């Protein structure tokens, strides 16, 4: 499937999600997918190779999280950290669709952080930055705190919140993108982490369960 074929599918999915994106943003999303495909040959960013499947499983899957994120942040200019970002999902998609949000994508693999930096330069995204580090090393008390810390298929909720807690601002929230409702993971959370909403997502063209688990620290 060519880019010309992918564009109407992406536009239809964006419309179904109720998002208002410009032609330039649609172009950036498709250009980002092209960059993943090109770099994937060397960097192994994703196991998904088919362009149509990549559009559904990566772009639209990440785009489905944008409306809930905008509702949660109420349009504020927040700082967001995407943990274990890999090829930049959902971080790059958030940076493209929400230019008012400062997005940092952290990964322990240098080549993946380098890829994010390449995407930021190629797509001219001044609000996007790749960070090569362990998330445990990022500390809010050193002026680098985040209003939202998110992850997509990164780790269990216990590990995700434990490892990234030092990066979260005291009034910040965690946004964990999951598949099926993670009942066992929710039950394993400590009292220091409070779940305040589990939100079901409908991804256009994807017949699989998706949800967002919203959490905050309990002090």
Q: What is the CATH number of the domain that holds 138?
A: 3.40.50.150
The answer to the question of residue 30 being in a domain is no
Contact assessment for residue 69 and residue 98, using Cβ atoms and an 8 Å cutoff: yes
The answer to the question of residue 155 being in a domain is yes
SS3 label, residue 179: coil
Contact assessment for residue 217 and residue 192, using Cβ atoms and an 8 Å cutoff: yes
Residue 204: CA count within 13 A, CB half-sphere: 19
Query: Domain containing 169: what range?
Result: 64-217
pLDDT at 75: 86
pLDDT at 4: 72
The answer to the question of residue 54 being in a domain is no
pLDDT at 189: 97
CA distance 49 to 62: 17
Evaluated on CA atoms 19, 22, 28, 31, the torsion sign reads positive
Please give the model's pTM, rounded to 2 decimal places.
0.95
CA distance 117 to 167: 20
For the chain, what is the domain count?
1
The answer to the question of residue 28 being in a domain is no
Contact assessment for residue 115 and residue 45, using Cβ atoms and an 8 Å cutoff: yes
Q: What is the CA radius of gyration of the chain?
A: 16
- Fill in the DSSP letter of residue 130: E
- CB atoms near residue 66 (< 10 Å): 21
pLDDT, one tens digit for every residue, the chain (219 residues) = 666 789 999 999 999 999 999 999 999 999 999 998 888 776 666 666 677 778 888 899 999 999 999 999 998 999 999 998 888 999 999 999 999 999 999 999 999 999 999 999 999 999 999 999 999 999 876 667 999 999 998 899 999 999 999 999 999 999 999 999 999 999 999 999 999 999 999 999 998 999 999 999 986
Contact assessment for residue 152 and residue 60, using Cβ atoms and an 8 Å cutoff: no
The answer to the question of residue 90 being in a domain is yes
Residue with tokens 């609000």: 127
pLDDT at 199: 96
């Amino acid at each position: 499937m060519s880019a010309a074929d992918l564009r109407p599918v992406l536009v239809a999915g964006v419309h179904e999600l109720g998002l208002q994106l410009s032609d330039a943003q649609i172009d950036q999303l498709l250009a980002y997918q092209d960059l993943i495909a090109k770099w994937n040959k060397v960097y192994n960013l994703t196991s998904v190779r088919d362009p149509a499947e990549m559009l559904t499983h990566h772009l639209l899957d990440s785009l489905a999280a944008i409306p809930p994120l905008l509702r949660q942040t109420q349009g504020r200019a927040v700082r967001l950290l995407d943990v274990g970002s890999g090829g930049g999902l959902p971080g790059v998609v958030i940076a493209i669709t929400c230019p008012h949000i400062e997005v940092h994508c952290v990964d322990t693999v240098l080549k993946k952080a380098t890829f994010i930096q390449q995407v930021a330069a190629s797509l001219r995204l001044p609000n996007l930055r790749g960070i090569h580090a362990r998330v445990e090393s990022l500390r809010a008390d050193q002026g680098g705190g985040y209003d939202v810390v998110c992850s997509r298929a990164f780790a269990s909720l216990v590990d995700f919140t434990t490892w990234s807690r030092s990066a979260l601002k005291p009034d910040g929230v965690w946004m964990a993108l999951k598949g099926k409702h993670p009942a066992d993971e929710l039950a394993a959370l400590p009292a220091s982490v409070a779940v305040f909403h589990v939100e079901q997502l409908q991804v256009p063209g994807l017949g699989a369960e998706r949800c967002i688990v919203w959490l905050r620290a309990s002090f």
